[in-house]
């Protein structure tokens, strides 16, 4: 396997509401394309094997680990990264509650964690603690022990229901 067998090609998708085209090898990881080609460094590489969730993004509304998505499979999709979560300069309710409840310490898991929580609240507006635990089980946090993250998510749900 010495000689390159692929050509870079143009791949078009929508990122955070903006139509975007990249020129990339089809097996570039979506994570690398977002970070390197588009400067969207919010998604992080923590493990490269879909275990830690720090690379999580939303793809057509579904939470996925971008380190496991070949960019060619992202053609035509709608991607939302942490950079696209807030509208303009105000924060998304989850970003507010993460700040208020200490749910972000070192911050490296935070973008993926917030997106996973956002995905949960879209599907389950009034989650129980068991729902929250399950929804976040694919996002590893080494700093918090998760307690304050649970509170932040539950409070975000409460604020959305009764603003």
Partner 1 sequence: MRSDPADYELVVPGSLHAVLALLAGEPDWQPIAGGTDIMVSYAAGKLSTPRLVSIWNLPELRRIEIFPNEIRIGAACTYTDLRESSVVANEFPLLARAASWTGGIANQNRGTLGGNIVNASPAADSLPALLAYDADLILISARGERRVAHRDFHLGYKTMLLAPGELIRSVCLPRVYAGYRYYARKVGSRNAQAIAKVCFAGLGLASHRVIEDVRIAIGAVAPVPFRLAETERILRGKTIDPPLLDLARKTAGAEVRPIDDIRSTARYRARVAANLVAEFLDTLRVEADRRHGELPIPDPMPDRLARWNSLPPDGAAQEILPCCGSRAWAFGVAARRPLLDEASLLAASDQVWNSLDEPDWLEAFASHPRLGESRAVPNAPAQSAAWSAQEQKNVAASSKAALAELAAANREYERRFGRIFIVSATGKSPAEILEILRTRLQNDAAAELREAAEQQRRIARIRLTKWLQA
Partner 2 sequence: MPVKGVQGDDILDQKHIVGTSVPRKEGRDKVTGRARYVDDMVLPGMIYGATVRSTISRGRIKAIRFDPGIEWSEFVVVTAKDIPGKNRVALILDDQPCLAEDTVNHPEEPILLLAHSNPHLLPKAVQGVSIEYEELPAVYTIEESERQAEIIWGTDNTFKTYLVEKGDVDAVWDKADYIVEGEYTTGAQEQLYIENNGVIAKFDPADGVTIWGSLQCPYYVHKALLSLFNLPEEKVRVVQTETGGAFGGKEEYPSMIAGHAALLAMKSGRPVKIVYDRAEDMVATTKRHPSRTRHRTAVSKDGRILGGEIDFTIDGGAYATLSSVVLSRGTIHAGGPYNWPTVRIRAKAVATNAPPQGAFRGFGAPQSLFAMERHIEKIAKVVGLSSIEIRRRNFLETGSSTTTEQTLRDPMNLGQLLDAALESAGYREKKIRFAAENKLGKRKRGMGIAAFLHGAGFTGSGERYLNSLVGVEGRADGSVCILVSSTEFGQGTNTVLCQIVAETLGLPYEHIAIAQPDTTVVPNSGPTVASRTVMIVGKLVQSAAVGLRQTLMDGGLSPEHTPEQFQAACREYVESHGPLRCYARYQEPPGVHWDDQKYRGEAYAAFAWAVYVAEVSVDLTTYQVSVKDFVALQEVGKVLHPVLAEGQITGGVAQGIGFALYEKVVWRNGRMLNGQMTNYIMPTSADLPPIRVFFQEMGNVHGAFGAKGIGELPMDGPAPAIANAIEEALGVPIDSIPVLPEDIFEALAHDEPLAAPISAPRTAL
Which residues sit at the interface with partner 1, rule CB under 8 A?
Answer: 1, 4-6, 24-29, 32, 45, 48-51, 53, 56, 59, 62-65, 67-70, 72-73, 75, 116, 119-120, 126-130, 132, 134-135, 137-139, 150-151, 154-155, 157-158, 161-162
Q: Is-contact 11 21, C-beta < 8 A?
A: yes
Contact partner at residue 27 from partner 2, partner 1, none, CB < 5 to 8 Å by partner kind: partner 1
Structure token pair of residue 129? 């603690």
* Nearest to partner 2 of 12, 100 (CB atom): 100
> Given its phi and psi angles, is residue 7 left (phi above 0), alpha (psi -120 to 50 degrees) or beta?
beta
| Residue 144 binds partner 2, judged by CB under 8 A | yes
3-class DSSP state of 35: helix
8, 9, 12, 48: which one contacts partner 2 (CB under 8 A)? 48
Q: Is-contact 19 12, C-beta < 8 A?
A: yes
Contacts of 107 (CB under 8 A, 6+ apart): none
| Residue 99 binds partner 2, judged by CB under 8 A | yes
Closest distance to partner 2 from the beta carbon of 122 (Å): 18
């Amino acid at each position: 396997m010495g000689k390159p067998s692929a050509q870079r090609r143009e791949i078009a998708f929508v990122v955070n509401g903006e139509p975007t085209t990249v020129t990339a090898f089809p097996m570039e990881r979506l994570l690398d394309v977002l970070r390197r080609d588009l400067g969207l460094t919010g998604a992080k590489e923590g493990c490269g094997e879909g275990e830690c969730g720090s690379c999580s993004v939303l793809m057509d509304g579904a939470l996925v680990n971008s380190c496991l998505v070949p960019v060619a499979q992202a053609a035509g999709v709608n991607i939302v990264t942490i950079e696209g979560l807030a509208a303009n300069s105000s924060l998304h309710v989850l970003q507010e509650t993460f700040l208020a409840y200490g749910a972000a310490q070192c911050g490296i898991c935070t973008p993926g964690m917030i997106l996973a929580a956002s995905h949960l609240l879209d599907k389950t507006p009034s989650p129980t603690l068991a729902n929250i635990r399950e929804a976040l089980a694919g996002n590893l946090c080494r700093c918090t022990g998760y307690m304050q993250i649970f509170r932040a998510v539950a409070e975000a749900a409460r604020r959305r229901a009764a603003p």
